[in-house]
């Protein structure tokens, strides 16, 4: 996965060194090697999805409960955000995780 990210980032930075590159990937792109490489690359950032595990779900319980309460009180869609630091077992350090809690008529 790292080579898939590294080649275009290196190419773009060779052409436009000051350009900020933001890598966006789903949870299957959230490899520690990819995140580590992007973190040490100048003018590069990433946003990836995370597969929910019991620790992430536990951390998100309160914000989800608040979104449910707002939805029930207001009767319309409720969207709340929360962030915290989390370290998966395969990571060498903690990283910021952002939770989006959305409750609507469809769930």
Beta carbons of 47 and 64 less than 8 angstroms apart:
no
Q: How many domains does the chain have?
A: 2
| pLDDT digits 0-9 by tens, 57-102 | 999 999 999 999 999 999 899 999 999 999 988 889 999 999 999 9
101 and 56 share one domain: yes
107 and 88 share one domain: yes
For residue 84, give every residue at least 6 positions away whose Cβ sits within 8 Å of its Cβ, in sequence order, or none.
59, 96, 97, 99
| pLDDT digits 0-9 by tens, 31-68 | 899 899 999 999 999 998 888 888 999 999 999 999 99
65 and 105 share one domain: yes
Please state the pTM of the whole predicted model. 0.75
Q: How many CB atoms lie within 10 A of CB 83?
A: 11
Query: DSSP letter string over the chain?
Result: -HHHHHHHHHHHHHH-TT--EEEEE-GGG--HHHHHHHHHSTTEEEEE-----HHHHHHHHHHHHHHHHHHHHHSS-EEEEEEEEE--TT-SS-EEEEEEEEE-TT-
Range of the structural domain that residue 101 is part of:
52-107
């Amino acid at each position: 996965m790292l080579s898939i990210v590294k080649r275009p980032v290196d190419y773009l930075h060779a052409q436009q060194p000051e350009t900020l590159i933001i890598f966006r990937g789903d949870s299957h792109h959230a490899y520690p090697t990819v995140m580590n490489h992007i973190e040490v690359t100048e003018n590069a950032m990433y946003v990836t999805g995370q597969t929910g595990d019991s620790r992430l779900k536990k951390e998100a319980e309160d914000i989800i409960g608040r979104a449910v309460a707002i939805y029930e009180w207001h009767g319309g869609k409720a969207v709340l955000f929360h962030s915290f630091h989390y370290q998966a077992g395969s990571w060498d350090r903690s990283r910021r995780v952002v939770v989006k809690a959305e409750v609507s008529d469809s769930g």
